[in-house]
Amino acid sequence: MPSELREALTAAGASALVPKIIDPMLLEYQRRYSPMVRMVPSIKWDSDTYYFNQRTTVAAGGFVQDGGARPVANSTYTQQSYKMAHLQTVGAITGYAQEVTRQVIGDLRAREIEGSIRGQYWDIETGMLWGNSAATANQGFAQYDGLDTLCSTFSGANQNAINKSSGGLTAQATPLSLSALDELIDLVEGNIAGSVFDDSWMFVMSSTAVSKLAQLQVAQQRYMEVEAEVGLIVPTYRNIPLVKSSFLQPRTYSMGTLTTAQGTSTTYGSPSLPNSTTYKYVVTAVVARQGEIQPSAEVSVTTSSSNSWISLSFSTPTGLDGSQPTLYKVYRTAAGGSSGSETLLGYVDAAVGVSSTDGVSSIPTITIVDTGSALVPVNASTIPATLPTVYFGGNTGLTPPVGWNGQGSASANTGLENVYLMSRDQDNVVRPYVREMVPLDVYPTTNSPDSLPYAVISDTTFGVRAPKYLARLANVSTPI
């Protein structure tokens, strides 16, 4: 054996000869809990509007004398409706990409369509929770009403919501508790005069809310699970499934700083805010595929003229995975109201309109103008073709979703959450659709002959046949 030293060829030295082997398994890194599109019954509907009837009272009757009679009476009927909304995803890959990725991923275009369908279901679910039809009707991206809009009566005979926050950016919020869930149960049972204690009902809440309740139920936890849908095993409270949603947790995302201005021009309609009056505002955003994030810091404006408007300008916030807003919610005090006493003034479309350049891109709202009677979305000199003339969805029972969670300094704000109790019975709630995730081939153009474009189309709405079959626990904290 020769005794001279021999040079070793290392892996680094042979790097050009080492094959690159890629695992064909594709990790789906972006995920969501989206239970409502699965657990709310859906039905095929061949019309642009979902109509349904309600019997609101039955024929009156009562005691009579022997042989006597009562006056003729009849039931009372009404007809309600929900307009279909349209959702669309458009994508494309090149023919070259389709071929060179085949050994690793198979059919790349099919995988892209599959991912687009999953994402569009997330959009449908976000709408079922947060959509508002009135504020978005005229700007090109019309939505249907979600639970945030439908479940918003905080007092009176038709109450279906309970606000657990006393209001104020540093007010102590109520931690989620079993007794709070009991309040929801009692509210619904009082409204419908029926039982809710089975899997035809469900609580919808964030994963942090489920964890909070698990701590409260730990002694009984092993006995409290149910298969709510095929393969979906969830915990329960009083036999009602606790279903996780990814669209009810603000996380740490929040609106940025608001910049204010005021004026008296009629550009945005007829301004009517009075002179020498102070208003305080906070703004939140409803972000696509996430939900409502935490509000901005409070700003205060005192008008200097009669018949004024006040504008609130901001940088567009982003949410989870860089998602963009679909709506804004403006909270305002009464005239001269104290700091932290804001309630919901109204919803505002996150799009001013559709770009005239390409006819499809949205023009984002970066300023909201309060005229005293309406909230107008604005982008520089661009305003909606049809100006809003009223506030959409204003609610004096709803305060901003932020407060002190009771576990630290009162100056440390935390995002608050909603919990819903809702029926899953098709007689009470349904999701009608015209087209359900239909893939469409889009043809290449002469400017892009090697593209393989596609579109995924859905037409649907959220048909709550009676809002009293819903209940909402608003603004609870979920400290673990």
Return per-residue pLDDT of the chain as tens, 480 residues.
455 556 677 777 888 888 888 888 888 889 999 999 989 999 999 999 999 999 999 999 999 999 999 999 999 999 999 999 999 999 999 999 999 999 999 999 999 999 999 999 999 999 999 999 999 999 989 999 999 999 999 999 889 999 998 766 666 778 899 999 999 999 999 999 999 998 899 999 999 999 999 888 765 555 467 766 656 778 899 999 999 999 999 998 999 999 999 999 999 999 999 999 999 999 999 999 999 999 999 999 999 999 999 999 999 999 999 999 999 999 999 999 999 899 999 999 999 999 988 888 999 999 999 999 999 999 999 999 999 999 999 999 999 998 765 554 444 567 899 999 999 999 999 999 999 999 998 888 888 899 999 999 999 999 999 889 999 999 998 876
> Residue 302: CB partners within 8 Å, gap ≥ 6?
276, 277, 278
- Where in the chain are the domains? 30-55+78-250+415-480, 259-400
Return contacts of 51-54, CB within 8 angstroms, 24+ apart. 51/79, 51/80, 51/81, 52/79, 52/80, 52/81, 52/463, 52/465, 53/77, 53/78, 53/79, 53/80, 54/78, 54/79, 54/80, 54/465, 54/466
Burial class (CB in 10 A: 0-12, 13-18, 19+), 335: exposed
Helix (H, G, I), strand (E, B) or coil at 103: helix
Residue 224, pLDDT score: 65
Concatenating the DSSP letter of every residue in 220-284 gives: GGGG-EEEEETTEEEEEETTEEEEE-TTS--TT-B----EEEEE--STTS---BPTT-EEEEEEE
Residue 410, pLDDT score: 47
Conformational region of residue 78, where left means phi above 0, alpha means psi within -120 to 50, and beta covers everything else? beta
Strand 49-57 relative to strand 76-83, pairing: antiparallel
Residue 277, pLDDT score: 97
The dihedrals phi and psi of 356, each to the nearest 5 degrees, come to -75, -15
Which residues in 101-180 belong to E strands, given as ranges?
161-163, 174-175
How many residues are there in the chain? 480
**Domain 30-55+78-250+415-480, CATH:** 3.90.1690.10
Residue 27, pLDDT score: 87
